[in-house]
Chains A and B, each alone.
Chain A
Amino acid sequence: MISWLLPQASSFASTVDGLVLLISVIVGVWFILAEAVLFGLIVKFQARDGVRGRYVSGEEKTEKRWVSYPHYAVIVFDIIIIAAALRVWNDVKVVAPPSEEQVRIVAQQWSWTFVHAGLDGRLDTADDIRTVDDMYVRRGRVYTFELHSRDVVHSFSVPAFRLKQDAVPGRIIRGWFRPTLEGTFDIQCAEMCGLGHGLMPGRVHIGSPTQHEEWMRGLTNPGATARTVTPATPVTRVAANDPAYAHPGETR
């Protein structure tokens, strides 16, 4: 259902969407049934002259089963949902496939810094490529990221990936994604982080292998980084003046 509104740009996007669809169907049926019974009873048992209410304590077994049978069904559906939810959670957040590429994501008030591993595929080497608010990834590769925050709690959210992870100062939080769709998608900060919380948009650019290589070459020259920053966002001015920007390799 989410895919009607937003493309599925990561390998687990369809997994999350499938879970949402499953839950929608189950709770949707329950919701409609419960409302139907509620409104049905309201209509059927309108006060009429000469007709009194019935005296039903609801404490007898024969009466209680009207409530308890649906209730057992609720428990069954709860178990189905738990099983599905935990499987999805496990696939997205607990077990990661072997890493093929690395990226370090640093959140701060109010911008994102992305440290790409560069052509050697390793972080903290001379050819690391640092960008602000724009992340460049290759379609089909498994990326592991490490998420840092320099100040307050932020949340790295890529709706098209169905991925969200808070960035907490003092912690390095790891996760993964595998982009599956070429294009440019939004990155949000999803946790209130102060004055500029609404001004923290980023973008993830997913390219084919050749396109990605081109980007990486264009960005290798650190001077080129500044030109890739969209001048329209005021946030980037904040980031451009940040000391972290001037000292590649140092994240905190």
Chain B
Amino acid sequence: MSAHDAGRDPGFVEKYLYSTDHKTIGLQYMLTGMAMALIGAFTVYVFRMQAAYPGSSVPLFGRVAAADYNYLVTMHGTIMIFWVAMPVLIGGFGNYLIPLMLGCDDMVFPRVNRLSYQIFLLSSVVLVASFFVPGGPFGGAWTAYPPLSANSAYSLTPYGSTLWLLAVALEFVAFLLGGINFITTTMNSRAPGMKMFDIPIVVWMIVLASVLFMGSVGPLVAGAVMLLLDQVVGTGFYDPSRGGDPVLWQHLFWFFGHPEVYVLLLPAMGIVAEVMTVFARKKLFAYRTIVYSAVGTGIISFFVWAHHQFVAGIDPRMASLFSVTTLIISIPVAEMFFVYIATLYGGSIRLTTPMLWALAFVAEFLLGGVTGIFLGSAGSDIYFHDTYFIVAHFHYTFFPIAFIAAFAGITFWFPKMFGRMMDETLGKVHFWGTIITFNVCFLPLFVTGTAGDHRRVFDYSGFAELATPQMQNLRILATWALLAMLAFQVVFLVNFVYSLFKGEAAEANPWKANTLEWLASSPPPHGNFETMPVVYRGPYEYSVPSRDDDYWPQYEPGDTADDGAPSGPRSVEQGA
């Protein structure tokens, strides 16, 4: 906060490239994530073309060799999770929104925040650099199981595997630094009057996600150091012939890897809660239930990791235990989705572009959620493990998380971020184009997976059961849908750039929303608020009967529960 000199005009470099302003850092994260998404999209384009038309030359790439296919699927997974979902949802929205929604001028540690982005940028550069080293990028899947990842005699990518690991480790450091800021800021810098249960859900979710991340990433960092030593120095942590154990890595990886799912899911659900309440003009149904469910989900998520390893050679009796914990986690997650659906009841729903995205998140994630039951049940996972059924399942979770919720957030907060409205028509074309093609792309993969298609196979011609014309037609259908989906993203980019310069000017609170960021001007200046806000009520007081307006901003002075109003909104919060 001392870093702010409100009166001075910073130069271009200090304002956009070397800034300590949380908004700039948030946008840096977001734009870097979007740039990485283009690389992630290119990789999927190439390997899906190979899957549909094996052996043919892919435009802009050429013939896809087995090694190419492996690194393309590896990089697609790595980039989309660590370099798109994480920076956009956590780095982007977290940095941009937390200080604004809490009503403070910046993060508690602005320079740590800047360092966080710089390390993240470095990690992106290291990852992209791995495309150009001798031997090519790492191709051992985003899970990087040793001994394949530990020994270049197996992976044939001596530099690629090391750079991959280094990039991931740097990325973790970046998000640890960011997480420290998120948690500290939320604990210490809330506007006067903002109690724990007045914090908007999206902030709760991002902070809980940061706690989960910090709690789970430590073992994996230790694991990554051991893997790095195996690769570079030739130690044998994961080499059974020298007393090591490859399964150790799987435990360390998934101990992080499963909480990571919720690290990404929670912020996405937070974004959706904000958008849904605004456009349904409804108070969030059972606010505290959502917070408690999210906490419960987070805790249980530390006890489910081995469901990725049912058939990995762990003691089969252990699988029973993890099957139970895995199905238990469906309880708080189902609760949250029920609550979201219940929030719509009695609403006054306006289907704007952000609202369409938010509703689509719920509708699509439901399918991702219920198909997870097949995989969490040890008995059926024997069959589905490592098939395209899993691919379809987690795309029905991760695509809603990383893209649908992110689009909801971007279209919702765009006016705040850039001071201009996005185009609604282009927004709706983009929405329907993306949602329809997404389903046409991934529904067939449930079928091929159920028929036995296993993952990461660049050519099915050796498999009599899989090389049938019916199966190939499904693969081709999925690929065409993917191409159409990618094409529709051009609409988004056009809308984004066009609106950035030519969009209708946005007022401070164009959606008539309650939370504090809408008090700041659009876009907010350095330091955010002209006068620092005071909070009088919870974030979701929409359609309060005693008022003329159907919204009641948190910052607006007025009745609290003390005035004895029968439906006093404050009373609910004070019951806490």
Contacting pair A1 B450 (CB below 8 A): yes
**Known contacts A164-B386, A186-B464: does B286 contact A67 (CB below 8 Å)?**
yes
Interface string of A4-20 (1 = CB under 8 A from B): 01100000000110011
Contacting pair B283 A55 (CB below 8 A): yes
Tell me the complex Cα distance, A74–B543, Å: 32
Tell me the complex Cα distance, A39–B359, Å: 9
Contacting pair B283 A57 (CB below 8 A): yes
The number of inter-chain residue pairs (CB within 8 angstroms) is 311
Contacting pair B247 A84 (CB below 8 A): no
CB closest residue in chain B, given A232:
B462
Contacting pair A5 B378 (CB below 8 A): no
Residue A215 at the chain B interface, CB threshold 8 Å: no
Contacting pair A198 B319 (CB below 8 A): no
Tell me the complex Cα distance, A189–B141, Å: 14
Residue B173 at the chain A interface, CB threshold 8 Å: no
Q: Please give, as numbers and ranges, the residues of chain A lying within 8 Å of B180 by CB-CB distance.
A: none
Contacting pair B281 A52 (CB below 8 A): yes
Contact partner of B462 (CB less than 8 A), chosen from A20, A30, A199, is A199
Contacting pair B382 A92 (CB below 8 A): yes
Residue A241 at the chain B interface, CB threshold 8 Å: no
Q: Please give, as numbers and ranges, the residues of chain A lying within 8 Å of B343 by CB-CB distance.
A: 58
Contacting pair B386 A6 (CB below 8 A): no
Contacting pair A45 B348 (CB below 8 A): yes
Contact partner of B282 (CB less than 8 A), chosen from A53, A78, A164, is A53
Q: Please give, as numbers and ranges, the residues of chain A lying within 8 Å of B57 by CB-CB distance.
A: none
How many residues of chain B get a CB closer than 8 Å to chain A's CBs? 103
8 Å CB contacts to A: which residues of B317-372?
317, 319-320, 323-324, 327-328, 330-331, 334-335, 337-339, 341-351, 359, 362-363, 366-367, 370-371
Contacting pair A190 B454 (CB below 8 A): yes
8 Å CB contacts to A: which residues of B418-454?
447, 450-452, 454
Q: Please give, as numbers and ranges, the residues of chain A lying within 8 Å of B373 by CB-CB distance.
A: 23, 26-27, 81
Residue B124 at the chain A interface, CB threshold 8 Å: no
Q: Please give, as numbers and ranges, the residues of chain B lying within 8 Å of A71 by CB-CB distance.
A: 331, 334-335, 338
Q: Please give, as numbers and ranges, the residues of chain A lying within 8 Å of B145 by CB-CB distance.
A: 152-153, 191-192
Tell me the complex Cα distance, A159–B550, Å: 57
Contacting pair B386 A196 (CB below 8 A): no
Contacting pair A196 B240 (CB below 8 A): no
Tell me the complex Cα distance, A34–B359, Å: 13
A192 to nearest B CB, angstroms?
Answer: 4
**Known contacts A5-B452, A71-B334: does B377 contact A85 (CB below 8 Å)?**
yes
Contacting pair A57 B572 (CB below 8 A): yes
A57 to nearest B CB, angstroms?
Answer: 5
Q: Please give, as numbers and ranges, the residues of chain A lying within 8 Å of B454 by CB-CB distance.
A: 157, 188-190
Tell me the complex Cα distance, A59–B342, Å: 12
Q: Please give, as numbers and ranges, the residues of chain B lying within 8 Å of A59 by CB-CB distance.
A: 286-288, 572, 575
Tell me the complex Cα distance, A73–B379, Å: 22
Interface-facing stretch out of B111-119, B147-155, B506-514, B529-537:
B147-155
Residue A226 at the chain B interface, CB threshold 8 Å: no
Residue A224 at the chain B interface, CB threshold 8 Å: no
CB closest residue in chain A, given B550:
A52
Residue A2 at the chain B interface, CB threshold 8 Å: yes
Contacting pair A56 B345 (CB below 8 A): yes
Contact partner of A164 (CB less than 8 A), chosen from B327, B385, B456, B569, is B385
Contacting pair A190 B283 (CB below 8 A): no
Contacting pair B377 A31 (CB below 8 A): no
Q: Please give, as numbers and ranges, the residues of chain A lying within 8 Å of B317 by CB-CB distance.
A: 94
Most buried by A among B66, B343, B379: B379
Residue B478 at the chain A interface, CB threshold 8 Å: no
Q: Please give, as numbers and ranges, the residues of chain B lying within 8 Å of A155 by CB-CB distance.
A: 311, 385-386
Contact partner of A93 (CB less than 8 A), chosen from B283, B285, B319, B366, is B319
How many residues of chain A get a CB closer than 8 Å to chain B's CBs? 94
Contacting pair A186 B70 (CB below 8 A): no
Contacting pair A74 B382 (CB below 8 A): no
Tell me the complex Cα distance, A41–B342, Å: 9
Contacting pair B457 A86 (CB below 8 A): no
Contacting pair A35 B363 (CB below 8 A): yes
Contacting pair B379 A34 (CB below 8 A): no
CB closest residue in chain B, given A71:
B335
CB closest residue in chain A, given B458:
A198
Contacting pair A56 B282 (CB below 8 A): yes
Residue B525 at the chain A interface, CB threshold 8 Å: no
Q: Please give, as numbers and ranges, the residues of chain A lying within 8 Å of B67 by CB-CB distance.
A: 195
Q: Please give, as numbers and ranges, the residues of chain A lying within 8 Å of B550 by CB-CB distance.
A: 52-53
Most buried by B among A5, A57, A66: A57
**Known contacts A89-B382, A93-B319, A168-B313: does B154 contact A53 (CB below 8 Å)?**
no
CB closest residue in chain A, given B387:
A190
Contact partner of B377 (CB less than 8 A), chosen from A42, A82, A109, A201, is A82
B121 to nearest A CB, angstroms?
Answer: 29
Q: Please give, as numbers and ranges, the residues of chain A lying within 8 Å of B572 by CB-CB distance.
A: 57, 59
Tell me the complex Cα distance, A5–B450, Å: 8
A27 to nearest B CB, angstroms?
Answer: 4
B227 to nearest A CB, angstroms?
Answer: 14
Most buried by A among B139, B287, B344: B344
Contacting pair A159 B543 (CB below 8 A): no
Contacting pair B140 A78 (CB below 8 A): no
Tell me the complex Cα distance, A170–B146, Å: 12
Contacting pair B379 A194 (CB below 8 A): no
Contact partner of A38 (CB less than 8 A), chosen from B246, B348, B363, B464, is B363
Contacting pair B370 A30 (CB below 8 A): yes
Contacting pair B452 A168 (CB below 8 A): no
Q: Please give, as numbers and ranges, the residues of chain A lying within 8 Å of B246 by CB-CB distance.
A: 152-153, 168-170
Most buried by A among B313, B349, B383, B545: B383
Q: Please give, as numbers and ranges, the residues of chain A lying within 8 Å of B283 by CB-CB distance.
A: 55-58
Interface string of A159-190 (1 = CB under 8 A from B): 11011111111110100000000001110111
Q: Please give, as numbers and ranges, the residues of chain A lying within 8 Å of B89 by CB-CB distance.
A: none
A100 to nearest B CB, angstroms?
Answer: 21
Q: Please give, as numbers and ranges, the residues of chain B lying within 8 Å of A86 by CB-CB distance.
A: 320, 323-324, 378-379
CB closest residue in chain B, given A184:
B464
Q: Please give, as numbers and ranges, the residues of chain A lying within 8 Å of B350 by CB-CB distance.
A: 47
Residue A124 at the chain B interface, CB threshold 8 Å: no
**Known contacts A166-B311, A170-B240: does B545 contact A23 (CB below 8 Å)?**
no
Tell me the complex Cα distance, A46–B66, Å: 52
Contacting pair B345 A67 (CB below 8 A): no
**Known contacts A52-B281, A64-B286: does B344 contact A41 (CB below 8 Å)?**
yes
Residue B490 at the chain A interface, CB threshold 8 Å: no
Most buried by A among B66, B282, B317, B462: B462
Contact partner of A109 (CB less than 8 A), chosen from B154, B320, B575, is B154
Contacting pair A199 B289 (CB below 8 A): no
Contacting pair A66 B280 (CB below 8 A): no
B305 to nearest A CB, angstroms?
Answer: 16
Residue B187 at the chain A interface, CB threshold 8 Å: no
Contacting pair A38 B457 (CB below 8 A): no
8 Å CB contacts to A: which residues of B238-292?
240-241, 245-247, 280-289
B466 to nearest A CB, angstroms?
Answer: 7
Residue A37 at the chain B interface, CB threshold 8 Å: yes
- A–B pairs, 6, beta carbons within 8 Å: A16-B383, A47-B348, A74-B330, A84-B379, A153-B145, A235-B462
12 additional contacts (CB under 8 A) given A56-B283, A78-B327, A194-B155: A5-B447, A27-B373, A58-B289, A59-B288, A67-B286, A78-B330, A168-B246, A169-B240, A192-B455, A194-B154, A197-B66, A198-B458
